[in-house]
Amino acid sequence: MTTIVVTGIGATSPIGGTARDSWTALLSGASGARTIEADWVEKHEIPVTFAAQALVRPEEVLERQEVKRLDPSSQFALIAAREAWADAGSPEVAPERILVDYATGIGGLWTLLDAWDTLREKGPRRVLPMTIPMLMPNAAAAAISMHLGARAGARSVVSACASGTESIANAYEHLQLGLADVVVAGGTEAVVHPLPIAAFASMQALSKRNDDPAAASRPYDTDRDGFVLGEGAAAIVLETKEHALARGARIYAELAGGSVTSDSYHITAPDPEGSGAARAVIAALEQAGASADDVTHINAHATSTPVGDVAEFEALKRVFGDRVGEIPVSATKASTGHLLGGTGALEAVFTILALHERTAPPTINLDNQDERIPLDVVSSPRALGDGQQLAISNSFGFGGHNSVVAFRSHDD
């Protein structure tokens, strides 16, 4: 098998405007959850009044025309991809050998719903001609590909909260098949909007800690009451190790494997036995040529929902057996909230940096750990030690989607 490596990272998240700023804030125990300062909260009597909104707004980074012609989801994606590409040294690659595989869980929701409001209130002539290309789920991948001149492909994954991780797993396969020399992969989401918040709240999925947003996302805690909706994007640049070394690129880590499975169980609830998720972990490790005993760190999906956190533990127990309580686990949604289609990409960046800096990031807001989930949860930055490290990052989504990627530390 060809060795695939990570040479660039980028992110714009609720805790930082770049990948490095997000990582620094994560290590410091920051929370991105804040009260929403928008008049629509009161206007629509939204029951949940907080979210983890992106810390740096796109209009502070992008050109005016880019903001005007892109939905917020694509704006975030372009910011993250540009950072990752620059971080990789802006590789000089033939356009036909650059591929984009970029994901979202929902897509251009702000554009769609704003256009509907315009149609109802002002009539069809006032609907913007760019509405369709702005709302389509593949818009982010298209924007990135046009910015980079990528002509090997501009692919889009839409598999709910597993989307970002699945795009990275796909990128691994693209490179193994020789379809490109360089792949930009990742995910984005921008749905901090009254309708999704009302809908998630209606299904009892969101935390209701309106009086204490920063403490609302609390994976594994006995008092967890739902996830915190987040927004933002992340991207990574991937290439073969041979290609990276030939151009003198810095290597963060190896992408050792990736996998996708499905539960075929329920449209929103995870399989309580975790069998599908467990198969995804096992498949990713098999692709990495590794066993469960080789895993030294886990970035868990851990959304802070009463049912989901337990189901993921059951999946991990199936894979790791008695060793499940000995592996350092980070649940970074405690700090960032849940970015839906962007969450797997952001957590992949955190996993890559954990290996690169040999430090597992902390899980905040864990005051009383659920006894049904006896994991070794990292509560403060923890050294991962010397020697080769192997980490997995899990993502699971509505519809029964499961995706897992495995990263291996790289020694210069």
Residues that are catalytic: 161, 301, 338
363 and 220 Cβ atoms separated by less than 8 Å? yes
97-110 residues labelled b (16+ CB within 10 A) or e (exposed): bbbbbbbbbbbbbb
Count of positions (residues) in the chain: 412
The beta strand positions in 81-231, using DSSP E, are 98-104, 153-157, 182-189
- Cα–Cα dist 76/180, whole Å: 24
Query: What number of CA atoms fall less than 13 Å from residue 162's CA on the CB side?
Result: 27
Radius of gyration in angstroms for the set of CA atoms belonging to the chain, rounded to a whole number: 20
Query: What are 268's two structure tokens?
Result: 């929103």
- Measured over the CA atoms of residue 45, residue 51, residue 55 and residue 56, the dihedral's sign is negative
Amino acid at 295: V
List, in order, residues 6 or more apart from 9 with CB less than 8 Å away. Answer: 19, 83, 84, 87, 234, 235, 236, 237, 252, 349, 352, 353
Phi, psi of 58 (to 5 degrees): -55, -35
| Residue 242 burial (10 A CB sphere; 0-12, 13-18, 19+) | exposed
Amino acid at 159: S
Instruction: Please give the helix or strand (H or E) that residue 330 lies within, else none.
Output: strand 328-330
